[in-house]
Amino acid sequence: MLNMIIFGAPGCGKGTQSKLIVDKYKLTHLSTGDLLRSEISSNTELGVIAEKYITKGNLVPDEMIIEILKKAIDNRPDKSNGIILDGFPRTVAQAVALEEMLKNRDMSTVVLIDLHVDNHELISRLLYRGETSGRCDDNLETIKNRLEVYISNTVPVCNFYQNLNKYKAIDGMGTIEEIFNRITLVLARCT
């Protein structure tokens, strides 16, 4: 079973690389951003609350997202070879909760892959996507806050996985294929 985390700043390519990884390794893709956006588009109570945070580029509360992720893990299709977490964990409290919830299910994470991309490139990718994505958080003001929140709340998660000996950093600059090749090299050593 391959349970992994794809990690990195907003716009680093988590969603893009997840698609390729899912195809090759037959994993279940669990993107907390996608889960929240689907709550928003279904206009659920959760969605109404989440939208207020997402629009500003702030993180939704830990307890809320941990509950959402737990449900998603328990509802995953049993035929997949594992899970790929995209956008979770985003705080150390989420990382602690994740390791605990997996342990309770006889599962564990194998590796966290951190995609390193220059700030300038992140902003230009997100602004470009914002021209067509319809995402309420793909505008310059919100992007700047997302990047600040990433540094202050999310980067500490790296240290948590370094201490578990599960942390791998990858150069996230270059073409989508180049980056995917780097990821498969890391995964080849984990599986």
Restricting to residues 105-144, name those near ligand AP5 by CB under 6 A: 125, 129, 137
Query: Residues 5, 59, 73, 113: which binds ligand AP5 (CB under 6 A)?
Result: 59
Alpha-helical runs (H) found in the chain? 14-25, 32-41, 45-56, 62-74, 92-103, 119-133, 140-149, 156-163, 176-190
- Is residue 57 within the footprint of ligand AP5 (CB under 6 A)? yes
| 161: amino acid identity, one letter | Y
**Minimum CB separation from Mg ion for residue 68, in Å?**
15
By beta carbon distance, the residue nearest ligand AP5 is 33
Q: Is 37 known to be catalytic? A: no
Dihedral angle, C-alpha 168, 172, 175, 177, nearest 10 °: 20
Q: What is the per-residue binding string for ligand AP5 in 72-111, x denoting contact by CB under 6 A?
A: ---------------xx-x---x-----------------
The answer to whether 27 contacts ligand AP5 (rule: CB under 6 A) is no
Q: What residues contact 43, with CB distance under 8 A and at least 6 apart?
A: none
Among 5, 7, 14, 166, binds ligand AP5 (CB under 6 A): 14
CB 17 within 8 A of CB 90: no
Angstrom distances, CA of residue 5 to CA of 64, 110, 121, 151: 19, 8, 22, 18
Closer of 103 and 118 to ligand AP5 (Cβ): 118
Say whether 146 is catalytic: yes
Q: Which of 19, 56, 76, 135 is catalytic?
A: 135
Residue count of the chain: 191
Residues with catalytic function: 14, 90, 125, 135, 146
